Amino acid sequence: MEKTLIIIKPGAVQRGLIGEVLSRFEKKGLQVCGIKMIRFTEESVSEHYAHLSQKPFFNRIKRAMMISPVIVCCLQGVDAVRVVRHLVGATNGREALPGTVRGDFSMSVQENIVHASDSTDSAETELTRFFSPEELFDYDFNNRGFIYANNEF
């Protein structure tokens, strides 16, 4: 089982879309293993977007991420990183396909509702950044036999 991180961004929190966005992942069959509300600081958002520090929009997206609290959430499932990226859709909400979170709820590149880890390595780094070990839960997910065939997990 793989774990990945999503962040429900300030725009989705402000627009009352937390439940709607989270339910996309739950209905798909992903298991919520940790969830909390946090507020980004200058330090934590700079670390999170360090790979974009040379981009002209770096300061703009950092400000946008600090404007209100966000929801950080750990999702678990088979191929969770790839599955969640597919559900999230393309970076630009105007290009993202209908049926994806961004395709259905976003008209913007910056205001694109949700962040999702883009590789298993970054998922591990990002989960460690936002969650202490005792904030992530391994628990029986009793409907697994209805989400996967018994040779899939």
Contact positions vs ligand TYD (CB under 6 A) = 52, 57, 61, 91, 109-110, 112, 115, 118
Which amino acid, one-letter code, is at 7?
Answer: I
Given the residues 48, 51, 86, 115, the one annotated as active site = 115
State the virtual CA torsion across 71, 75, 81, 87 in degrees, nearest 10.
-70
From residue 56, give the alpha-carbon distance in Å to each of 73, 97, 153: 28, 26, 43
**Which residue lies nearer to ligand TYD by CB, 107 or 137?**
107
Per the CB < 8 A criterion, the answer to whether 9 and 45 are in contact is no
From residue 81, give the alpha-carbon distance in Å to each of 1, 15, 53: 10, 26, 23
- Residue 115 a catalytic site member: yes
**Which residue lies nearer to ligand TYD by CB, 37 or 52?**
52
Per the CB < 8 A criterion, the answer to whether 69 and 15 are in contact is no
**Which residue lies nearer to ligand TYD by CB, 18 or 147?**
18
Positions annotated as catalytic residues are 115
